[in-house]
Amino acid sequence: MERRQRIGLFGGTFNPPHLGHLKMSKAAKDQFSLDEIWFIPSGTPPHKKVDNEVSASDRAEMCRALLYGENGILSEEEKEFYFVDDIEVRSITPNYSYKTVSMITSENPDKDFFFIIGEDSLRYFHKWVKPEVIAENVTILVASRNESNGEKKVLTGDFIDREEMTLPEMIDYLKENVGGTYEVIKFDPVDISSSEIRSTVTEPGFEAEKFINDDVYQYIKEHGLYREAYDNEYIENIRKDLKDKLKSKRYLHTLGVMHTASSLAMRYSYPVSHAVLAGLLHDCTKYLNDDEQLKYCKKNNIEITDSEKKAPQILHAKTGAFEAEKEYKVKDKDILHAINVHTTGAPGMNLLDKILFTADYIEAGRCEAPRLNDIRNTAFNDLDLAVTMILSDTINYLKEKDKSMDPRTFETYEYYKNLIEQREFARRILELVN
């Protein structure tokens, strides 16, 4: 008889996924001869709010970064055993594990499934919605977090009926009251928790290699995850101040950039309040004329390049970043950097840089730039391509008008033009191979 494929189902919020999750899944795979492990990030957990309001799609992408990243700890051969299943991410209703398990097992009747769960979660398993359905369809593999793998150590806390039970006692209780087959995953515990990572990952000196691989860390940084949101009152006070400082037309443009930046942030999974603040403050020193910009720089020891002396109107990016930090107490380095480069751009911009740079060009009040509608459409589908199009049109405009151009603009254009060309070349190669 042909051997049935054995699949491990590993569900959770994965907020974020870390090396402990990976070690647990590898132990399950090795000990129970599993052919594949499916990571199943929860979509809308019915029993709790996802901390820091990190989206399901972000958590799924971090799982992919953990499992398939170039800087991960899995070999190319090991990566083939892992799969990220978006079944709960795509769901339009609250997710219950019994529904997920029922759907997967009914669609794959020729496979045997194993449900990987941590001991902490097992303590509450009898309180889940229809746990008996899960127990009926899969073998439950329990990963213990204590040194004895749950065989001897007495645990305390909110257990079944709030009694002190060892892991074997908990399993016996569940077998009698819920049913099912339970096995213990034996592995050396890893002292890592997602909550600890969330609270420290944005701090200087965070040692990513101890908790998450570099690919997950870079995803967290790029998408601004686990940062504290700016509250509405703080943002509203800044808006009122700018309304008094800026001319009416400039203020309306500022609001347009703010709203467009927030829309792009929603599209590309970036903290909306950070994008709103960057959009609101990007022109915060536009109340100064060219001479006053030069004086502002001199007074505050802000370096001025030769190209900026020829075109002082672009200095508002530098002075704006300075004023955002000193006057409006913005400490977030990404917001300040985005304001600083929003006129010229910069090679290798981060996500917020590109969001603000693009929002400044395509906001609803703009109407004179060529192919503006094309760029607006592109911005919500391919941000790098939109940036490249904006830079190309900006350079053409400056040349036609014989206006001074900051060298950073051309350097940025060359960077993104090459990026798009390399990406297109890689796409064509893949088409030929496939």
What does the pLDDT read at residue 87?
92
pLDDT at 150: 42
pLDDT top residue among 192 and 137: 137
Asked whether the beta carbons of 419 and 404 are under 8 A apart, the reply is no
Structure tokens, 231: 């509250």
What does 359-374 look like in DSSP terms, one character per residue? Answer: HHHHSTT---STTHHH
pLDDT of residue 189: 74
pLDDT, one tens digit per residue, over 321-351 is 999 999 999 999 999 999 999 999 999 999 9
Q: What are phi and psi of 400, to 5 degrees?
A: -60, -40
| CA distances for 432 relative to 37, 426, 429, angstroms | 31, 10, 5
**Domains within the chain, CATH numbers bracketed:** 5-222 (3.40.50.620), 232-433 (1.10.3210.10)
- What pLDDT is recorded for position 418? 96
Residue whose structure tokens are 């395509």: 362
Mean pLDDT, residues 267-282 taken together? 97
The per-residue pLDDT for 296 is 96
What is the DSSP code string of 250-278? HHHHHHHHHHHHHHHHHHTT--HHHHHHH
Q: What is the DSSP letter of 315?
A: G
Give the confidence band of 253 by pLDDT, cuts at 50, 70, 90.
very high
Distances (CA, A) of 375 to 104, 322, 363, 390, 416: 41, 30, 11, 7, 15
Band of residue 427 on the pLDDT scale cut at 50, 70, 90: confident
Chain segment 159-180, per-residue pLDDT in tens: 454 457 888 999 999 999 999 9
Nearest CA to 225 out of 379, 17, 384 is that of 17
Percent of the chain whose pLDDT exceeds 90 = 72
- At how many degrees (to 10) do helices 351-362 and 372-379 cross? 150
Q: Tell me, what's the pLDDT at 148? A: 43
What is the maximum span of the chain, computed from C-alpha positions, in angstroms?
86
Please tell me the distance from the alpha carbon of residue 247 to that of residue 254, in angstroms, as a whole number. Answer: 10
What is the average pLDDT across 246-261? 98
Please, which pLDDT band fits residue 91 given cuts at 50, 70 and 90?
Answer: confident
pLDDT in tens, 193-227: 888 899 899 888 888 888 898 999 999 999 999 99
Question: Is the pLDDT reported for residue 146 higher than 70?
Answer: no
Q: Tell me: pLDDT of 426 over 50.
A: yes
Per-residue pLDDT at 154 = 42
Q: Mean pLDDT over residues 126-149, rounded?
A: 85
Query: What pLDDT sits at residue 155?
Result: 41
Nearest to residue 324, comparing CAs of 347, 300, 305? Answer: 300
Beta bridge partners of 184: 142
Please write the tens of the pLDDT for every residue from 29-66. Answer: 999 999 999 999 998 665 556 555 788 999 999 999 99
Task: Report pTM.
Answer: 0.85
What is the sign, positive or negative, of the torsion defined by CA atoms of 361, 364, 365, 370? Answer: positive
For residue range 349-365, list pLDDT tens digits in order. Answer: 999 999 999 999 999 99
User: How far is C-alpha 297 from the chain's CA centre?
Assistant: 36
Give the tokens for residue 380. Answer: 């919500």
Q: What type of residue is 283? A: D
